[in-house]
Structures are given as structure tokens and as C-alpha cells.
Amino acid sequence: MSSIWPQLEPLLARVQKPARYIGCEDGAATPVHAQHKVSWLLTYPDTYEIGLPTQGLQILYEILNERSDAVAERAYAPWSDLEALLRQRGLPLFSVDTHRPGGDFDVLAFNLSAELIYTNVLNCIDLAGVPVRAADRRPEDPLIAAGGHCTFNPEPLADFLDFVVLGDGEEAVGEITEVIGAWKRGGRASREVVLRDLAQLPGVYVPSLYDVRYDGEHLASVTPRFPDVPARVEKRTVADLGQWPYPKNQLVPLTEVVHDRLNVEVFRGCTRGCRFCQAGMITRPVRERPADQVRHMIDSGLRRTGYDEVALTSLSTADFSGIEKVVADTVGCGSNISVSLPSLRVDAFTVGIAAQLQQGRRTGLTFAPEAGSWRMRQVINKLITEDDLYAAVESAYSQGWRRMKLYFLTGLPTETDEDTMGIAELSRRCVELGRSHVKGASVTVSVGGFVPKPFTPFQWFGQNTVAELSRKVGLLRDALKRDRGVQLKWHDPKATLVEGIASRGDRRLGPVIETVWRRGGVFQEWSEHFDVRLWQDAMAEHGLSVDWYTHRHRTEDEVLPWDHLSAGLHKDFLWQDWRDALAELGLPDCRWTPCYDCGACTGYGIEHIVASATPPAGGSQGTGQLVFLR
């Protein structure tokens, strides 16, 4: 079959936002399929408007389409209205590029960015006409793959995925293409043949090639079934981001999506060492893109796309060496161009940057103090002082901003009510500072429940219960009730619970995810679809304890479901960091201080690539010392 467009077209008149199904984006490839090519359907298992801007997916889309032995298209989860029509008419999941059926591809590769999209992965596999369980698939079915941050614990999805890629995908997709291409040329023998070959590639994990043993409720071991299968799968890391200036042709959607702007990744990895942050732990070391390349990507990107906004993305953009200069050059390169820095550390946000940013159109500003007290921030190693925050906030208000967003976590290890209430105190003080500059100054405070993640020092911590998180949110709500300048928002503690179940779950969660999906539990990231009861009931039916998986503190000697995978970090480094956290001891950023051997560089023979050997000016930079307001 080639294209289902003729059958799809009449349905689009009856669904919401049909433009998300037509493709036609500027930057889209013109895929040419051929027998000798390995065809990939890169699938984001949520809606088009959420999935389209995903940088990882766009990068791999370009890299694969540049190869002569591969072709890549994109798919997104159709919204419920279209899905119902597709199922009614027996039509499958399709690519938006040429509207080809999902089942016609060699590989269906999913981007796993969050736990709540797991049931959508099953739904997409099923909608593509592929058996949801890997064990039920035939040689002619597509291989089901996954990449993205959640793959550092893919065990809850182990029953459904054929293979998983850990870490950066830029190099791995080419190697995988070659292995699958050879398998196709050899007549597509059994799936185990190609999976055994894929398991030889660094960074590729094939769950079905491992035996899992339990000792009562505890995991005893995960061991390879064959001698040639690695006992531990190491993540992939691109050594030099400068060699990968992707996406070169960022997709420009015709309909509104999130992050609808030019996005330029300025560096990958972060060693600030925030202990709750999985992204910072698993993407080490820091690899900066050369400033000239950044400038070129901004300049050519703006000209090609017609966007008037560019976001400089990374895990902490103000840490980029020479950030002020890049922002100044960008704002100066055209009228009405605005720059947004979506992830800003307050101790690196200076009046200088604020002044540069406001030359363009002012975009929203978000700071993430993460915790309300200095004690708590030492525990989580987010070593910014209150004065750092006030200096940053003051910089912004003095440069004309009227409101900003502050992000906090609650439910952190050792958190007391005093720490929680610190959030209210900090927020109030920010508004007061703002009022000395602008009359209507306000802050939006977002509070999320903390979910412990694999490969972080907090992976042993027992997550707060829904009742406890709700109580803490309640404290803040009461405290801030009368503050007109502070708008409080919070993440649903029930959603936090489900994220927690899946985050550190093992293979026994597979049937739970399948049950939730079969009962209609899709689009769980959307509050109108999310249903915690589906999850609680399915856990109970499969004899699993929510408390055991989520709220229990884990012990040092416990086998963790991801122990046979590696993000480079030594487990004893993580354990020591966990002990340091409980002792309220901070750990400096190794970018500018001597190495403490976490394992991420030494294990792979790579190192930081940073243009500046000193931290950005402006704040206390983790020293906890006072900073002078400029």
C-alpha cells in the first residue's frame, strides 16, 4: 500500500484541527521509498502540537533522510476523534509526510519523553496493525524501537519494545540502519536474528535477550540469555556537538504547536549536579556548540523559516560561554526578533542579559529556584542563594518585565513544612521587588510534585504520597490566598503518583500498562483523559503494590531494574551523592572545578567541551556566598 490519503481526506472535515494531519511543513523531506532502504517511522506518541517541535525526532529525521540506505517519515498520535474514525473504517496509524500506513515501515521508533505517554505507545503500535507484545510479532512486522530520556529505565515497556537506544541517537541510527539493511537483504529471517545483531551495537538494548529473576517481591537479577549479549548496555554520547549541526532545516508547521519558534541547541549535558534532575545526570558531559555555529544556525534558520523568535535551548542556557554576546548578536540581526532562554539559572542571569533580551520583543521569563529554602537547595544541590534569585528577578523587573514564572518542586527528600513555606516567602518577596520597578508586578508560581528518577542520587528515595503532596500544595494555597501578585499553579499529585509508579518500575508493570490501555486509558498527559483509578485498579488486579513501587525507600544493596543499563555514572558515586544530600552537603560544578569522577567522562574517554574555563559572572555560583546586587 502506498498512501491512505484518499480515505483519510474525507475524514478530516469532521475532526478537530485537521491541519495536524496534513504534513506539508516547510523543511519536510520528500521521502522516496525503495526496497534497499530501511524505512523508519519516527513517532511521537502524543499529539502533533506537542510532538512536532521535538528536537531529537527532527534531528534523526534529517540524519536518516541524508543517508542513501534509509528513509524516514514522521507520525504523531491521532487525537481521539480521528482515532475513532480510523478504527471504524479499518484505517491504520499513518505518516504525515506521505500518509503511508505505519505497518509498512521497517522500524517504528518512538520518542519516550515522559512516563504518562506509555499507554499511547501501545495504542500507536496497535493502531499500526502490529501486535502490541514483542513476543507475538512476526518477521514481516515492523521492529518497534524507542529512544529518549525515559529509555534509561525502559523496563515497564520491555514487553512491547523490540529494541531501545540509550543516549544520543545521532550515530546510533546509522549503525542500526546498516544492521537492519543487512537483515532485509538476507531475506528477513527470524526477528531474533536481527535483534541479536542489534544487541551488539553500543547503546542498543534488546529487552527480550535478558532473563529477569525475582526473589519474592524483589528483583534478583537481569542477565543476558546469550554470551554475545552485553551484561551491561552503555549509553551513547556524541563527543562533539559541533559535528552535528542539526536540525539544519527545522520543520515549520502550518498550524500552531508548542514552542512554535526557531530552536537552536546551544549545548548538551549539564554538570550543575542538581540531584533531582535526571536530564542533567544522563546527558553528561557538557558539550557546547561553537559560538560561530550557533550564530550561523540562528541566522540561516531565521532567514529560512520566517520565524521572529529564537529559543536557545539547553539544560541551563545562561551557562553557555559568551551567552551575552550571542543574545546581543541575535537581537541585532533583525527588527522585532525576540530571543527566549527557556531554561535559566538565576545565578547566571544578569542585568546584562536582561538588557540584551529586552532589545527584542520581551518573551516570558522562567526561573527555577526549585526549592524554598537554602537548606533544601543544599539537599538537592541547586546551590543558588536567595540573593541570586532576587538579583535575577530584580534585573528582569528593572528591564521592563512585569511578570515572570518561578518553578518549584515539592515532596523533596527531607523536606519540612518550613521548606515548603519558603516557596511562598520567596514568591512574595519577588513580587515586592517587582513593585519597586513596575506597578503591576506579579509572579506565576508552578509547583510540581517530585518524582525520583533512575540514574540520579535520589533514585533510592521514597516518593511522597498523593495525600502528602496535596497537603503541601494546600499549605501554599492557604499561604498565598491573599497575595494578589502571586498566582499559584500546581501539577496534579495523582499524575505525579502514576509517573512515580512507571519511573522506577520493573517488567512486572507491563501487564498494568497494557490493562490501562485496553480500558481506554490513553492521552494520560491530558487532564481531560487522565484517570488515576485505571492505574490503581490495574496495579491491584496484577497483585502489585503502589506503595512498594513508589513510596518505599530503597536500600543500597537493592538490585534496581536499570542496573544492567548505564548512563556512565558509577553507582557508588550516586550513592555517595545521596548520602551527601542527606547531610546537606553541596557538590560544585565539575566544569570549572576538579573532576570528582562520576564516570560519565572517564568511562567513555570523553570530556567537557566548553569555551570558557570560568563560570558565568553574576551570582554566587554554588559557593553560597553573598552576591552584590548590581
Which residues contact other proteins (rule: CB under 8 A)?
3, 5, 9, 12-13, 17-19, 21-26, 252, 254-256, 303-308, 336, 361-362
Q: Which residues contact 294 (CB under 8 A, 6 or more apart)?
A: 264, 266, 312, 326
- In whole angstroms, the minimum distance from the beta carbon of 110 to other proteins comes to 26
Judged by phi (left if over 0) then psi (alpha if -120 to 50, else beta), residue 233 lies in beta
- In whole angstroms, the minimum distance from the beta carbon of 283 to other proteins comes to 32
- In whole angstroms, the minimum distance from the beta carbon of 583 to other proteins comes to 48
User: Which CB, 99 or 507, lies closer to other proteins?
Assistant: 99
User: Which CB, 23 or 449, lies closer to other proteins?
Assistant: 23
Q: Give the Cβ contact number of residue 188 at 10 Å.
A: 15
CA angle in degrees (0–180, nearest 5) for 65-69-70? 40
What gap in Å lies between CA 525 and CA 531, rounded to an integer? 10
- Pairing outcome for strands 218-224 and 210-215: antiparallel
- In whole angstroms, the minimum distance from the beta carbon of 90 to other proteins comes to 20
User: Which CB, 256 or 417, lies closer to other proteins?
Assistant: 256
Q: How many CA atoms lie within 13 A of 354 on its CB side?
A: 25
The burial class, CB within 10 Å (0-12 / 13-18 / 19+), for 274 is buried
Three-state secondary-structure class, residue 405: strand
User: Which CB, 300 or 623, lies closer to other proteins?
Assistant: 300
User: Which CB, 18 or 599, lies closer to other proteins?
Assistant: 18
- In whole angstroms, the minimum distance from the beta carbon of 525 to other proteins comes to 24
User: Which CB, 255 or 576, lies closer to other proteins?
Assistant: 255
- In whole angstroms, the minimum distance from the beta carbon of 82 to other proteins comes to 12
User: Which CB, 255 or 623, lies closer to other proteins?
Assistant: 255
CA angle in degrees (0–180, nearest 5) for 610-320-427? 140
- In whole angstroms, the minimum distance from the beta carbon of 138 to other proteins comes to 32
Q: Which of 275, 295, 316, 313 is nearest to 591 (CA)?
A: 316
- In whole angstroms, the minimum distance from the beta carbon of 301 to other proteins comes to 12
Is the distance from CB of 45 to CB of 121 less than 8 angstroms?
yes
What gap in Å lies between CA 392 and CA 379, rounded to an integer? 22
Judged by phi (left if over 0) then psi (alpha if -120 to 50, else beta), residue 614 lies in beta
Q: Which of 282, 229, 367, 329 is nearest to 112 (CA)?
A: 282
At 555, the amino acid letter reads: T
- In whole angstroms, the minimum distance from the beta carbon of 306 to other proteins comes to 3
Number of helices and strands in the chain (H, E)? 20, 19
User: Which CB, 196 or 402, lies closer to other proteins?
Assistant: 402
- In whole angstroms, the minimum distance from the beta carbon of 492 to other proteins comes to 29
User: Which CB, 15 or 480, lies closer to other proteins?
Assistant: 15
Is the distance from CB of 399 to CB of 356 less than 8 angstroms?
no
Q: Give the Cβ contact number of residue 251 at 10 Å.
A: 21
User: Which CB, 256 or 541, lies closer to other proteins?
Assistant: 256
What gap in Å lies between CA 66 and CA 427, rounded to an integer? 49
User: Which CB, 68 or 336, lies closer to other proteins?
Assistant: 336
Sheet with 262-265, strands from edge to edge, namely 262-265, 309-313, 338-340
- In whole angstroms, the minimum distance from the beta carbon of 35 to other proteins comes to 22
- In whole angstroms, the minimum distance from the beta carbon of 12 to other proteins comes to 6
Is the distance from CB of 406 to CB of 371 less than 8 angstroms?
no
| Residue where the block lists cell 476523534 | 81
User: Which CB, 198 or 252, lies closer to other proteins?
Assistant: 252
- In whole angstroms, the minimum distance from the beta carbon of 11 to other proteins comes to 11
What gap in Å lies between CA 615 and CA 621, rounded to an integer? 7
- In whole angstroms, the minimum distance from the beta carbon of 396 to other proteins comes to 15
- In whole angstroms, the minimum distance from the beta carbon of 343 to other proteins comes to 23
- Pairing outcome for strands 70-76 and 38-44: parallel
User: Which CB, 167 or 301, lies closer to other proteins?
Assistant: 301
User: Which CB, 9 or 240, lies closer to other proteins?
Assistant: 9
User: Which CB, 12 or 355, lies closer to other proteins?
Assistant: 12
- DSSP result, 169-211: -TTHHHHHHHHHHHHHHTT---HHHHHHHHTTSTTEE-GGGEE
Q: Which of 47, 102, 101 is nearest to 253 (CA)?
A: 47
Residue 346 DSSP label: G
Residue 465 DSSP label: P
- Pairing outcome for strands 204-205 and 163-165: antiparallel
CA-to-CA separations, 262 to 43, 61, 125, 337, 623, in angstroms, rounded: 21, 17, 31, 11, 35
Is the distance from CB of 146 to CB of 537 less than 8 angstroms?
no
